[in-house]
């Protein structure tokens, strides 16, 4: 245990009561100045610590930080986050970090979490707004042993896991806007960016990046987003526990992923369909500048969207930008 962790542990053990600098310095065998320096680093990391010249230090507000120290104690996964939990106060992009780690050989189950991203990435060169300690910025490394043609299952699986975490933890009713957006009341609360490295017929690794807005005050979002944004705070009017959401999300992901690895996608697909915002809707798809318009009527077993156009032709869509059109089809 580092000195900083020892100071944190001693503070937490007091359950909100004061502990003097002198007691801490005797207990840990370091000077009071050293104690203060450690407290300062804890403050910088986001812990709320009161200090008083007479009484010492105390922690009264639980810190909702996504560090391994805070998250691991209640994390129920067997693999994800357990052995390789990489945590940054600030980084460029957790996907970029995770890709570098995956290329170095980091195993499946590795997660990268940041309190803030300065170059958070969306798809097609777009960016992800990632203010400090308001959302979850998470990337997972997986090395699935599945046929290459099933690769799209993975993004859908991540969307289901995010939705379940929001349902179970906060009682929200999210919808999946195929393939990678999570919306609540037509406002975007989360986005997913999957980046894969493949051989000719197999998958080497996939980094799944998840950005989830939790305690963002709605008025602080930039006003030029493609889809109006929202956060858990915006929906429930109460601050949510990022720690609990992250734990739920990892557990839900792990459960669905275990099924996927066994070749069983039925349950995940059913859930994805039941949460789908686009099934049954008239849509317009832009896939690499090829435009398809028609009725989105199903998601197939590979996670592809099935769209029937005016002429009755069925298009199997693997990815793309989708707009849900307001009017029903003209018969
Ligand atoms: C996505 O892209 O929705 C995927 C976002 C993935 C972000 C995570 S965070 C952890 C990991 N590390 C990364 O670097 N990235 C992943 P896309 O569908 O292209 O949506 C991006 C668009 O959504 C932007 O152009 C904005 O219009 C909007 N947007 C940006 N930040 C947002 C936010 N926080 N909430 C809602 N909408 C946002």
* CATH number for the domain formed by residue range(s) 281-324: 2.30.30.100
* pLDDT, position 326: 67
Domain edges within the chain: 3-58, 68-275, 281-324
* pLDDT, position 327: 56
CA of 81 to the centre of ligand 1 (A): 22
178: Cβ below 6 Å to ligand 1?
A: no
Which residue's C-alpha comes closest to atom 25 of ligand 1? Answer: 126
* pLDDT, position 321: 75
CA of 289 to the centre of ligand 1 (A): 21
Helices and strands in the chain, H and E counts? 9, 14
User: Which string of b and e fits 182-221 if b means at least 16 CB within 10 Å?
Assistant: bbbeebbbbbbbbbbeeeeeebebbbbbbbbbbbbeeeeb
Tens-level pLDDT at each residue, the chain (331 residues): 899 999 999 999 998 999 999 999 999 999 999 999 999 999 998 899 999 999 999 998 778 999 999 999 999 999 999 999 999 999 999 999 999 999 999 999 999 999 999 999 999 899 999 999 999 999 999 999 999 889 999 999 999 999 999 999 999 999 999 988 999 999 999 999 999 999 888 899 999 999 999 999 999 999 999 899 999 999 999 999 999 999 999 999 999 999 999 999 999 999 999 999 999 999 998 877 788 899 999 999 999 999 999 999 999 998 877 787 765 544 4
Strands 111-114 and 85-88: parallel
What does the angle CA 271 – CA 275 – CA 281 come to, to the nearest 5 degrees?
125
129: Cβ below 6 Å to ligand 1?
A: yes
193: Cβ below 6 Å to ligand 1?
A: yes
Distance in Å from the first CA to the final CA of the chain: 69
Q: In angstroms, rounded to a whole number, what is the distance separating the alpha carbons of residues 228 and 226?
A: 7
Architecture of domain 3-58: Orthogonal Bundle (1.10)
Residue 321 CA, closest ligand 1 atom number: 18
CA of 169 to the centre of ligand 1 (A): 22
Least Cα distance to 252 among 80, 107, 115 occurs for: 80
pTM of the shown model: 0.92
93: Cβ below 6 Å to ligand 1?
A: yes
* pLDDT, position 290: 83
232: Cβ below 6 Å to ligand 1?
A: no
Q: Check if the beta carbon of residue 320 is closer than 8 Å to that of residue 310.
A: no
Number of C-beta neighbours around residue 159 at 10 A: 29
Residue 226 CA, closest ligand 1 atom number: 27
Least Cα distance to 212 among 307, 140, 108 occurs for: 140
Q: What is the 3-state secondary structure (H, E, C) of 212-228?
A: EECCCCHHHCCCCCCCC
* pLDDT, position 214: 98
CATH topology of domain 68-275: BirA Bifunctional Protein; domain 2 (3.30.930)
């Amino acid at each position: 245990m580092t000195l900083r962790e020892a100071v944190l542990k001693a503070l937490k053990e007091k359950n909100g009561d004061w502990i003097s600098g002198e007691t801490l310095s005797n207990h840990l065998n370091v000077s009071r100045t050293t104690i203060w320096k450690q407290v300062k680093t804890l403050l910088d990391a986001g812990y709320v610590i009161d200090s008083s010249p007479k009484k010492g230090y105390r922690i009264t507000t639980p810190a909702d930080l996504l560090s391994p120290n805070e998250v691991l104690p209640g994390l129920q996964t067997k693999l994800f986050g357990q052995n390789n939990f990489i945590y940054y106060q600030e980084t460029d992009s957790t996907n970029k970090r995770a890709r570098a780690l995956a290329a170095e050989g980091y195993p499946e189950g590795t997660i990268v979490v940041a309190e803030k991203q300065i170059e958070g990435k969306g798809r097609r060169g777009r960016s992800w707004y990632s203010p400090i300690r308001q959302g979850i910025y998470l990337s997972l490394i997986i090395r699935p042993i599945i046929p290459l043609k099933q690769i799209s299952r993975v993004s859908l699986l991540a969307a289901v896991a995010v939705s379940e975490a929001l349902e179970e933890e906060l009682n929200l009713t999210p919808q999946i806007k195929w393939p990678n957006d999570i919306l609540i009341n037509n406002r975007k609360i989360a986005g997913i960016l999957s980046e894969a490295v493949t051989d000719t017929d197999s998958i080497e690794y996939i980094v799944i990046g998840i950005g989830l807005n939790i305690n963002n005050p709605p008025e602080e979002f930039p006003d030029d987003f493609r889809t109006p944004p929202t956060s858990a705070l915006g929906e429930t009017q109460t601050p949510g526990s990022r720690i609990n959401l992250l734990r739920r999300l990892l557990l839900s992901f792990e459960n669905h992923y275990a099924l996927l690895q066994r070749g069983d996608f039925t349950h995940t697909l059913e859930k994805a369909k039941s949460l789908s915002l686009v099934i049954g809707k008239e849509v317009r798809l832009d896939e690499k500048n090829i435009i398809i318009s028609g009725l989105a009527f199903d998601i197939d077993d590979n996670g592809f969207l099935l769209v029937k156009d005016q002429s009755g032709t069925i298009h199997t869509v693997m990815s793309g930008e989708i707009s849900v059109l307001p009017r029903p089809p003209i018969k």
